[in-house]
Amino acid sequence: MASTNPSERPPEVQNVREYPELGRTVRPYVPAKSLNTDYPLIDSDPHFRRVVSYARPSDYTSALGFSALIPGTMLFWERISPSEVGRNGFRQIMRLSTTLGLFSGFYLFYSRSINRFYGFSENRREVEMDMREMTDKVKKGEPLYGVSTMTEYMQGVASRQS
């Protein structure tokens, strides 16, 4: 049997997660991967509000059209080949297809807008809006990305996990 004498125990291991003040990490720092795109990167982790506010009118129209596609297809199929489920059965089908249409339309809207932030599609308008927004904040003396309530260590953790 192993001896349980306290003087023979190995030294206690202190984890960086439990003791962030040690300033040591077990893994080397790995910088964020930069993608080679045709357009400039605006923000690699934009806030939801920013993505929605930078959306173009074409994003709204494509989302509305795509949202109407699923319920419209269900109505078309019902005309071509009636399901004969009755009025209440078809209402449930239409509720589900409308919900799916709204979610998929919003997803299309959001992905088109966020792809411009990443530089995957043409983003000249968004770059100009971002520059205008940032210069206005600098002129007012505000921090560029708001005031954080987290410690510097936790901000670093959030940045690495983002």
CB-based contact 97:70 (threshold 8 Å):
yes
> Contact 138/144 with Cβ under 8 angstroms?
yes
Q: What is the pLDDT of residues 10-34, one digit of tens each?
A: 566 555 555 555 555 566 666 767 7
Among the ranges given (19-23, 46-50, 130-134), the one the predictor scored with the smallest mean pLDDT: 19-23
Q: CA–CA separation, 53 vs 105, rounded Å?
A: 17
Q: Quick: pLDDT tens for 101-130.
A: 999 999 999 999 999 999 999 999 999 999
Give the C-alpha separation, 110 to 94, whole Å. 24
- Tell the burial category of 95 from Cβ atoms under 10 Å away from its Cβ (0-12, 13-18, 19+): exposed
Element (H, E) at 140: helix 124-140
Q: Note the pTM of the prediction, 2 decimals.
A: 0.70
Three-class secondary structure of residue 141 per DSSP = coil
